[in-house]
Amino acid sequence: MTDDPGLPPDSPRPPDSPGYRDDTRRGDLDGHTMEELGDYLDRDRTPRDESIESSPACQLALAGMARLREISWTALTEEAAGQSGRDERWIGRLLDTIKDEIASGREIPVTHPDAAIRLTLSEAAVRGLVRRAGDTLGGVVMGRCTLDGDVVTPGAPVRVDVTASLSYGLSAVDTATRLRERIAGALARHTELVVTSIDIEFDDVLDDGRRS
């Protein structure tokens, strides 16, 4: 099944049931823009903006942007590098991906024996978890993350598809193995998803923090 965060949640709970809320709008930053969030990061999140700090979507976007800035600081600041135009396009694409992935998406269940207690993680939270697992590995910058499968049904098989940029000189095979282990570990710790495979595609090469 192809994930499309623009669609209503593929949830067993119908929209007219108690507690249902449709917060799946694609790239909805609760009234803010990525540019505003970038400025907010530039100001070290001061003065505190409660509308940003109380928004899960903004928190996910800020976390992704902050890591991207750490990883690609050189690319963001070296205008004379000759590659700056390409770097800006690359960063722009990554920011678009982060924005697309912060929509809450489907509700991923966590089991509980009491039927009156319904526990879930948002699909955006899980994608953010996968993104952080990759971005903090070293040597890769995460691109797109897709949870492919019936994530709302406990026990159903799920495939994880990710794209990433790989630092020049690193072994793609070894890095993919380390990345796969890291993502699997994070998902096993924080979700009850039955992950059958983690498919990794390196679609770009980085050189000292910049695209080569």
Footprint of other proteins (CB under 8 A): 18-19, 21, 30, 50-51, 54-56, 59-60, 63, 104, 107, 110-112, 114, 116-122, 124-126, 128-129, 132, 136, 189-192
Q: CA triplet 160, 24, 100: central angle to 5 degrees?
A: 55
DSSP string, 30-46: TT--HHHHHHHHHTTT-
What CA–CA distance (Å, rounded) separates 143 from 203? 9
CB of 88 to other proteins, least distance (A): 26
Closer to other proteins by CB, 30 or 78: give it.
Answer: 30
Shortest separation between residue 181's beta carbon and other proteins, angstroms: 17
* Closest separation in Å from C-beta 173 to other proteins: 27
3-state secondary structure of 60: helix
Q: Which two tokens stand for residue 54?
A: 């109380």
Smallest gap from Cβ 60 to other proteins, in A, equals 6
Nearer Cβ to other proteins (108/210) = 108
**Which residue's CB is nearer to other proteins, number 70 or number 201?**
70
First-to-last C-alpha distance (Å) of the chain: 34
Q: Which two tokens stand for residue 141?
A: 């910058």
Task: Determine contact, residues 198/160, Cβ cutoff 8 Å.
Answer: yes
For other proteins, the closer CB: 124 or 210? 124
